[in-house]
């Protein structure tokens, strides 16, 4: 038996997770999987219920799970809360607590959606890149950090820090991913300015010696941002630190037309993982059956592949997404002329029907 923890979270989280679970149930049935599915609280929903965005009960369940499916966290009603109680702290807390250092963010353009991108179709047609983002270090978690009084005025500060072992393990994830793809890895840093990046580059080069088949290149982050919107198809796998990966992965997502299509996986050294769409909680459309569940459904596919050893099930889901797009079904975020506008529930139902 495999244990899955579901954390719907806030905004559109519960509705997209609901559709993804319909798909998971059906795949489990088709593949004869034995799953135990529990539900827990995270983010604003957890704060509302028990006063903390990452409650102890969730922590306990998370540690026991083989995989976690998360919806989204956050909402305007929580913005005034002190930092430690904000929904985002729930997400950062679970990443750090479980040691989920390797964040995989694929940006794949489905050919059916080529016209949904704000870039010209020929620039993005066939796009298939993977960003490997380090997720538990860097300026997100580095110390010292804070806001304090210096010479009569307040000063805010954070610390970008990476140890050799942290760089080494994420570099290895990047090289391994590249080995399974087109064998090209671009490491993104700011080594012309930052010591932390100087070390990053040195360690990545060293790890690269173990992967002679992989063509390794290096790019400064500002140039990488430009190249992503200029000629994104030059990339196969990109590996980078936490903050650069945060920024570049949003840019990469938009190349594909809709952030509503992209899944992500955050893994630790044991193979357990947290799977979530890369988009946020979209409070403006929550509860209206408008949200696109595909990113969450594809996150389930990643979960089957990376944590549950169910490649077949993963492929079934990915094929079903292609089929439903071929049928012309579109949620509002990917709607285009001549296609059929559907709500999130109808999209979920169509995906379930397309699984067989």
Contact footprint for Mg ion (CB under 5 A): 246
Select 170 or 304, whichever has its Cβ closest to Mg ion: 170
Select 33 or 81, whichever has its Cβ closest to ligand IPM: 81
In the shown chain, the binding pattern of residues 90 to 129 toward ligand IPM, with x for contact by CB under 6 A and - for none, equals -xx-------------------------------------
Q: Is 10 in the site for ligand IPM (CB under 6 A)?
A: no
Least separation in angstroms between CB 246 and Mg ion: 4
Q: Which of 211, 246, 275, 290 is catalytic?
A: 246
Q: Is 246 in the site for ligand IPM (CB under 6 A)?
A: yes
Q: Which of 250, 289, 345, 349 is catalytic?
A: 250
Residue nearest to ligand IPM (CB): 88
Would you call 222 a catalytic residue per the annotation? yes
Q: Which of 54, 140, 162, 211 is catalytic?
A: 140
Q: What is the Cα–Cα distance from 275 to 6, expressed in whole angstroms?
A: 10
Least separation in angstroms between CB 304 and ligand IPM: 21
Select 95 or 330, whichever has its Cβ closest to ligand IPM: 95
Q: Which of 66, 190, 211, 236 is catalytic?
A: 190
How many alpha carbons fall within 13 Å on the CB side of residue 308?
32
Would you call 140 a catalytic residue per the annotation? yes
Select 10 or 22, whichever has its Cβ closest to ligand IPM: 10
Q: Which of 38, 222, 284, 326 is catalytic?
A: 222
Q: What is the Cα–Cα distance from 299 to 307, expressed in whole angstroms?
A: 11
Least separation in angstroms between CB 44 and Mg ion: 17
Would you call 180 a catalytic residue per the annotation? no
The token pair that represents 228 in the structure block: 């992503």
Least separation in angstroms between CB 13 and ligand IPM: 12
Binding at 88: pick from Mg ion, ligand IPM, none (beta carbon under 5-8 Å per type):
ligand IPM
Select 92 or 179, whichever has its Cβ closest to ligand IPM: 92
Q: CB–CB of 230/237 below 8 Å?
A: no
Q: What is the Cα–Cα distance from 71 to 85, expressed in whole angstroms?
A: 18
Would you call 54 a catalytic residue per the annotation? no
Least separation in angstroms between CB 259 and Mg ion: 10
- Within positions 33 to 92, which residues make up the interface with ligand IPM, using CB under 6 A? 88, 91-92
How far are the Cα atoms of 70, 119, 201, 292 from residue 16, in angstroms, in the given order?
10, 27, 39, 7
Would you call 233 a catalytic residue per the annotation? no
Least separation in angstroms between CB 317 and Mg ion: 24
Select 252 or 342, whichever has its Cβ closest to ligand IPM: 252
**Residues annotated as part of the active site:** 140, 190, 222, 246, 250
Catalog residues that contact ligand IPM under the rule CB under 6 A. Answer: 88, 91-92, 246
């Amino acid at each position: 038996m495999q244990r899955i923890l579901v954390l719907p979270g806030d905004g559109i989280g519960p509705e997209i997770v609901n559709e993804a679970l319909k798909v998971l149930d059906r795949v489990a049935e088709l593949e004869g999987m034995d799953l135990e599915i529990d539900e827990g609280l995270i983010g604003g929903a957890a704060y509302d219920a028990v006063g903390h965005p990452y409650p102890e009960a969730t922590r306990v369940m998370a540690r026991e799970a083989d995989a976690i499916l998360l919806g989204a966290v956050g909402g305007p009603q929580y913005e005034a809360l002190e930092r430690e109680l904000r929904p985002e702290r729930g997400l950062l807390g679970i990443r750090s607590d479980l040691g989920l250092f390797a964040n995989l963010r694929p940006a794949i353009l489905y050919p059916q959606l080529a016209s949904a991108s704000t870039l010209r179709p020929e620039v993005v047609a066939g796009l298939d890149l993977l960003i490997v983002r380090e997720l538990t270090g860097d300026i997100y978690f580095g110390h010292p950090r804070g806001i304090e009084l210096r010479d009569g005025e307040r000063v805010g500060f954070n610390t970008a820090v990476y140890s050799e072992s942290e760089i080494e393990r994420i570099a290895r994830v990047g090289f391994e991913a590249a080995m399974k793809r087109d064998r090209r890895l671009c490491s993104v840093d700011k080594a012309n300015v930052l010591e932390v990046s100087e070390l990053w580059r040195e360690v990545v080069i060293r790890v690269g010696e173990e992967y002679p088949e992989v063509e390794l290149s290096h790019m400064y982050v500002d140039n990488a941002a430009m190249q992503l919107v200029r000629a994104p198809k030059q990339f196969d796998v990109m590996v980078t630190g936490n903050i650069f990966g945060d920024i570049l992965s949003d840019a990469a997502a938009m190349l594909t037309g809709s952030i509503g299509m992209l899944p992500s996986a955050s893994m630790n050294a044991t193979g357990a993982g947290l799977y979530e769409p890369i988009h946020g909680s979209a409070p403006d459309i929550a509860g209206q059956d408008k949200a696109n569940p595909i990113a969450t459904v594809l996150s389930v596919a990643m979960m089957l592949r990376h944590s549950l050893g169910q490649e077949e099930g993963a492929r079934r889901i990915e094929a079903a997404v292609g089929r439903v797009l071929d049928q012309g079904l579109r949620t509002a975020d990917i709607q285009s002329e001549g296609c059929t506008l559907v709500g999130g529930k109808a999209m979920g139902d169509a995906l379930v029907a397309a699984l067989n």
